[in-house]
Amino acid sequence: MKKFTICFIIYFCVISFSKIAASEKGTFIKEIQVKSQARTLEIELIANGPISDYRSFTTDKPTRLIIDTSLSDCKIPKVYPLNNPSYSQIRWGINKGKLRLVIDSNLKQIPPYEISTQNNILKVVLDSEKTLSPVTPVKKAEKVEKLEQGGFLLGPEDILEISVWKDETLTKQVVVRPDGKISFPLIGEIQAAGRTVEDLRKEIIEKLSEFISDPVVTVMVIGINSYKIYVIGKVNKPGAYTVGRSVNVMQALSMAGGFSPFADLEHISILREQNGKQIRIKFNYKEVAKGKHLEENILLKRGDVIVVP
């Protein structure tokens, strides 16, 4: 009995030590497989365990696809060259204790891409031959929407995550204040409202360059609270709507639950502040629903008010 007890204790200690060692080791990328063609790139990152989560975003100037993972380490070279005319290399580093992968591109912008996980494999497919769906033509009065579509304009209450490559002390979440400014270490206050993320990122890089050599800065919008539109009148759910992307008139009316009885669907208006003045844009729901006058189904701008009489 005594011998059995000793053996059981030894077995228990060995199993416990193995679990602790495995836990400390963590899940990491152990292998990379690359399929490269002239305009496409397929990357498979193989881990020693399941990949539970990731998030991705892109940057311009320099052009990069950045993937934050749930993993803790990577055993492939820090910089892995990609024999591809459109994509130069994949590299990695640790951000907030988690593995961050960066794919550098020679293109002006990252093309459509797909990321998927299956058990212990993270698969990235970039295809520069794909094209985005064409945008509905707009009138001169709607040119203001192009700025919103091409680059979201920051506003008060938006939440940003600003990180500096290989410097976790300079990774901060900041909220755009009512005065439109944010505060960041080393550089102090900086205007954020009314600017695109890329524009803000460039100024942060410029100011940080006085303290850090060639800083690599990422700015992400993790909470959009400033982009509000309003739907009033004869709809089922009138009120203010916070949207995290550009929406058109039809989408906004859908968010408001459709129309209540006796709504005048032919004389809907969009009220907009433009150059210090309020303008009125007409919208005929019946015609647009039939596929006519689709140019009236404009993208809404922050602060637009839809009036359903």
Report d(CA 44, CA 85) in Å as an integer: 19
Higher-pLDDT residue of 210 and 127 is 210
Domain coverage including residue 213: 142-223
pTM: 0.44
- Same domain for 238 and 273, yes or no, is yes
Which residue type occupies 173? Answer: Q
Question: pLDDT value at position 105?
Answer: 82
Q: What angle do CA 113, 63, 95 make, to 5 degrees?
A: 85
- Same domain for 152 and 208, yes or no, is yes
Question: pLDDT value at position 265?
Answer: 93
Higher-pLDDT residue of 242 and 2 is 242
User: How many domains, in total, are found in the chain?
Assistant: 3
User: Checking DSSP bridges between strand 268-274 and strand 188-191, what pairing results, if any?
Assistant: unpaired
Q: Which of 103, 127, 151 corresponds to the end of one domain?
A: 127
Q: Is residue 15 part of a domain?
A: no
The tens digit of pLDDT for each residue in 267-279 reads 999 999 988 899 9
- Same domain for 40 and 119, yes or no, is yes
CATH of the domain at 199: 3.30.1950.10
The tens digit of pLDDT for each residue in 211-261 reads 988 889 999 888 878 888 999 999 999 998 887 667 899 999 998 988 998
Higher-pLDDT residue of 297 and 20 is 297
User: Rounded mean pLDDT of the chain?
Assistant: 80
Residue 114, strand partner residues: 125
The tens digit of pLDDT for each residue in 170-197 reads 888 999 999 999 999 999 999 999 898 8
Q: Which of 102, 127, 152 corresponds to the end of one domain?
A: 127
The predicted model gives 107-116 an average pLDDT of 79
